[in-house]
Amino acid sequence: MSTSPVSSAEGAVIGKDGLAALVDVLRARGYMVIGPTVRDGAIVLDELESAAQLPYGWGVELEAGRYRLRSRTDGAAFANAAGPQSWKTFLHPARVRQWRAERAAGELAIEADDTTPARYAFLGVRSCDLRAIAVQDRVLTAGPHTDPVYRGRRSGAFLVAVECTEPGGTCFCVSMGTGPAAGPGYDLVLTELADAGGHRFWIRDGSPEGAEILAQLPAVPASAAVRGAAVAAVASAADRMGRTMPETDLQRLMAETLDAPRWDDVASRCLTCGNCTMVCPTCFCTTTEDITDLTGDHAERWRIWDNCFDLDFSYLPGGPVRPSSRSRYRQWLTHKLGTWYDQFGSSGCVGCGRCIVWCPVAIDITEEAAALHDWTTHREEEPS
């Protein structure tokens, strides 16, 4: 493929060599490229030194409480839905040291941890995760008190989105209005085609830097046929979502079902392990942990992920505010689908399905919402 001028709106087509060049160009510009790769029987996000590390030829089978890799014959790199990690692993890390203190000769020296974060380029951001990043942007940087850790990692990040053409059995971005086509917020966006026409990527820019980088890739203008095939592939993905949310006002549903017996039912299954919050791309809660060594001369303060399933999370003088599993699961779901709107103006769920896959007892957020919806529907139908 030769490099040719490209129309920004219609985009360009690159091949595997173009994808390899994209990783090289990003690295040459000083970015640490993070993208999907196969490790430990899963597609994880990790630093990529070259595009050869992408999961070419790997897909996934996703079900409640189940994740399996499966090989593909088409060699596609991005025909696999959400893995166990999301981009919050890098933007809002699970553990951050905030400061350390040393005591020597009776003097105490406190040193803030102000390590300069890497400049990240995220390759393969799905539409649901693009929305999740926008949600965390609002939560962690839009208010009067911004999170310096998140801001420092997010502000220089370059996002390469990939539209979904192969949804998983637990995906429901269509129900949440978050995919599978990529919304705004990306610097570049790819749609992968691996069919009789060959293995290629329709690529468009979404920012001036994206346009600059696109101009450096071996690309040809996108024909109407390629654009049509890519749009059709994404539309087909929208029709093949593995899960759906009930078609109702979820915020209202959460507010009207606080006394539903379903909360006892789900509490009898929930282990309150918090896995669902760890994998969720929008959950953001943290706690503070102070540690000292045995001499007492060295201390550190760490910020670590926490979650509403942890009994200590709502501990106030006198005890925890949510002592039962019922109250903790209900807090999580009603916040995600209901009170998140009051706080941040959007849903806290983007329909990625990770909490369904990684729940050890296969609790399914769409099934729980549907059960609550059924309960309200039948309650309204009962004669008074």
Residues binding ligand SF4 (CB under 6 A): 270-276, 279-282, 309, 336, 349-355, 359-361, 363, 365
- Interatomic CA distance for residues 295 and 326, integer angstroms: 42
The helix or strand, by DSSP H or E, that contains position 199, with its residue range, turns out to be: strand 198-205
Instruction: Work out how close the CB of 163 gets to ligand SF4 at its nearest, in angstroms, rounded to a whole number.
Output: 18
Q: For ligand SF4, which is the closer residue by CB, 123 or 350?
A: 350
Comparison of 222 and 363: residue with beta carbon closer to ligand SF4:
363
In terms of CB distance, is 51 or 139 closer to ligand SF4? 139
Nearer of residues 165 and 366 to ligand SF4, judged by Cβ: 366
CB of 148 to ligand SF4, least distance (A): 25
CB of 309 to ligand SF4, least distance (A): 5
Closer by beta carbon to ligand SF4, 48 or else 365? 365
**Would you say 132 or 189 has its CB closer to ligand SF4?**
132
- The closest alpha carbon to 150, from 77, 223, 87, belongs to 87
Residue 248 or 272: the one with the smaller Cβ distance to ligand SF4 is 272
Could you tell me the smallest distance in angstroms from the CB atom of residue 329 to ligand SF4?
A: 6
The CB-of-100 to ligand SF4 minimum distance in angstroms stands at: 32
* Cβ-proximal residues to 219 (8 Å cutoff; 6+ apart), any chain: 1, 3, 4, 6, 12, 13, 14, 18, 203
Q: Are 265 and 375 in contact (CB under 8 A)?
A: no
Nearest to residue 169, comparing CAs of 278, 63, 283? Answer: 63
Min dist. Cβ of residue 117 to ligand SF4 (A): 24
Residue 291 CA to residue 300 CA, distance in Å, equals 5
Taking the C-alpha atoms of residue 169 and residue 139, their distance in angstroms, rounded to an integer, is 29
CB of 268 to ligand SF4, least distance (A): 11
Q: What angle do CA 3, 8, 9 make, to 5 degrees?
A: 130
CB of 334 to ligand SF4, least distance (A): 12
| Proportion of the chain in helix, strand, coil states, percent, rounded to 5 | 35, 25, 40
Residue 260 CB, nearest approach to ligand SF4 (Å): 16
CB-count burial class (<10 Å; 0-12, 13-18, 19+) for 341: middle
Give me 273's structure tokens.
Answer: 């392990």
Which residues does 15 contact at the CB level (< 8 Å), separation at least 6?
1, 198, 199, 200, 201, 218
Distances (CA, A) of 182 to 11, 94, 297, 321, 340: 14, 27, 51, 40, 22
Q: Which one, 252 or 269, has the nearer CB to ligand SF4?
A: 269
By C-beta, is 173 or 222 nearer to ligand SF4? 173
365-381 vs 262-269: helix axis angle to the nearest 10? 160
Q: Residues near 249 by Cβ (< 8 Å), separated by ≥ 6?
A: none
